[in-house]
Structure 1
Amino acid sequence: MLRLDTTQARVRARDLQVRLATTPSEIREAQKLRWRVFSDEMGARLSSREHGVDRDLFDPYCEHLIVRDEAAGRIVGTYRILTPEAARRVGNYYSETEFDLTRFQHIRNRLVEIGRSCIDPDYRSGSVIALLWAGLARFMTERGYDYMMGCASISMADGGHAAAAIYQQLESHLAPAEWRVFPRVRLPVEALRDGNEADMPPLIKGYIRAGAIVCGEPAWDPDFNTADLLLLLQMNAADSRYTRHFVERQAA
């Protein structure tokens, strides 16, 4: 297992460190953070068997990237990572519960899935997401994987109008036909467009800035009540300044 040096990637004010979780207790703490953010804060209906712990059938197969505030002694940010080898063991990627990924068949051996990204509400100033991305960049570089994909979520609290507006703004970043995926439960964006603007979620904005492409129309996730877009980043086509910044941040 890759272990990112815990003496690296510090933010002095809070002594934040990014690395892969190495113990069951760390993974459990990350899953508790996910529950607080997704269920308590966002109102998602989670299928976990244990209240207060967001765990599904993919978790045992994933590696869990964490940002820990060493001074406070708690995990404040997390991503889970599903490698192609682990996806074969579990049977599929999580994204395949929402999208038909048939056109990704030729890259599956080089494709890493990221997901369940969340940050403690007290730590959403930008440092934690920067460290998580630094950890992801380091993971991809050291493991030698070529592609990274993940579902980016947009709240459906307004009935989907913001999601439709954001998708319209992203149409210039749509993947070519050979990289398209197809939602299993399609969001009817054409019926939801009302002419109003919507703010682009910072996470999606960051992915696009890095060079990610939007692989098709959004899917509706009824459990999280979100519109999900599948984004794909090809590492050798990513913005070199952007990825170099995060790799160097991790090594500093």
Structure 2
Amino acid sequence: DLQNYSVLCAPSDQMPGIMHEIGRLREITFRAIGEGTNKKIDLDDFDLYYYHLFVWDNAAERIVGAYRVGKGKDIINEYGIRGFYVSSLFRMHGRMQQVLEQSLELGRSFIVEDYQRKPMPLFLLWKGILYFLLKNNEYRYLIGPVSISNRFSEFSKHTIIEYIRKNHFNGRFARYIKPKKRFRVPGYSFDAEILFENLNNLQQLDKLIEDVESNSRMPVLLRKYLQLGGKIIEFNIDPLFNDCLDGLLLLDLYDVPPEVIASLSREMNDQSIFERFSKQKPLQEEVQL
């Protein structure tokens, strides 16, 4: 419990009522930003064997945000690569199996609209993920899709993609992953290269998107993942999610800044937490591809 909130996590079969509410809130929240499944509730077959991490407001007695979390090793053992949600969006070479076995797959994250301006819900969700990782030492990576709503203009989507390809791209794994529905880059009459050369950081990109989109800024999760050291491997259009643009994110936990770990683990008071995320004492061998 922290500041009148609780963070809980369980598999779906242990909380069917909660799952229905999570599915309902997902759809409402995603639809409000031009995403969503256009069904009454957003639940799928992956939910049946993934864990669900959620934040509960004790005073209001309601769910205010959630993440879907898949344990890569368990998914590989039970279903193979096709058991990952991201495999429904991207074609993955068998060589990715050793990465996926060391990955937690994150997805379907949301914070309900009237809590989105409060910093605590997202902070607590990430705190919950940190705790999950501490309980499951075998995982080195976080992987999952990060959405860019179809409400963004083609220009903004293209700009975000080009900036990421230049600054936050994982070319090492991109050889083994292909989108099932590639984003087609539109043609422009001006020299786009000049624009991209002048984008030197995420703050400048965010400001440009805000100017173009009339107060719609760069997606918060995408920005925060990149600030943590995350890389994008590929992009795909998701026809089952209102044609939103998904970036496939891979975050190596050894790249997360120590100050972020310190902030998320402040009241745990355990120095060994830093060793869990340190390259000096790796818990897994380097993936050889």
TM range (shorter): 0.7 to 0.9
Distance 1:185 1:141 in 2: 36
Pair 1:110 & 2:106 matched: no
Q: 1:153 maps to what in 2? A: 147
Deviation at 1:37, TM superposition (A): 1.4
Distance 1:113 1:250 in 2: 25
CA deviations over 1:65-121 (Å, ceiling 9, x no partner): 001111111101000011114423344210011112325222222111000011110
Equivalent residue in structure 1 for 2:134, among 129, 138, 141 = 141
Pair 1:240 & 2:251 matched: no
Unaligned runs of 5+ in 1: 1-6
What percentage of residue pairs aligned between the two structures are identical? Answer: 28
Counterparts of 1:40-189 in structure 2, within 5 Å, are 42=34, 44-46=36-38, 52-88=40-76, 89-90=78-79, 91-102=82-93, 103-125=95-117, 126-144=119-137, 145-171=139-165, 172-180=167-175, 181-189=177-185
The two structures have a TM-score, normalised by structure 2, of: 0.74
Q: 2:278 maps to what in 1? A: none
Distance 2:74 2:188 in 1: 37
Larger C-alpha radius of gyration, 1 or 2? 2
CA contact (8 A) 1:67 1:77 kept: yes
CA deviations over 1:38-70 (Å, ceiling 9, x no partner): 246535335xxxx53211010110100001111
Q: 1:223 maps to what in 2? A: 240
CA contact (8 A) 2:127 2:265 kept: yes
Distance 1:202 1:18 in 2: 21
Deviation at 1:214, TM superposition (A): 1.1
Pair 1:211 & 2:229 matched: yes
Opposite residue 261 of structure 2, the aligned amino acid is T
Opposite residue 183 of structure 1, the aligned amino acid is P
Bigger mean CA offset, 143-152 vs 232-241: 232-241
RMSD, aligned CA: 2.5
CA deviations over 1:134-191 (Å, ceiling 9, x no partner): 1112211221111111111101224532211111222211113345532111002354
CA contact (8 A) 1:79 1:116 kept: yes
Query: Structure 1 residues 35, 146: closer, same or farther in 2, change over 3 A?
Result: same
Secondary structure of 2:247's match? strand
Distance 1:251 1:70 in 2: 25
Q: 2:5 maps to what in 1? A: 16
Query: Structure 1 residues 193, 86: closer, same or farther in 2, change over 3 A?
Result: farther
Secondary structure of 1:64's match? strand
Distance 2:143 2:109 in 1: 13
Deviation at 1:242, TM superposition (A): 1.6
Secondary structure of 2:181's match? coil
The two structures have a TM-score, normalised by structure 1, of: 0.84
Distance 1:249 1:155 in 2: 36
CA contact (8 A) 2:154 2:186 kept: no
CA contact (8 A) 2:33 2:149 kept: no
Unaligned runs of 5+ in 2: 196-207, 210-216, 271-289
Counterparts of 1:188-203 in structure 2, within 5 Å, are 188-189=184-185, 191=187, 195=192, 197-198=208-209, 199-203=217-221
Secondary structure of 2:24's match? helix
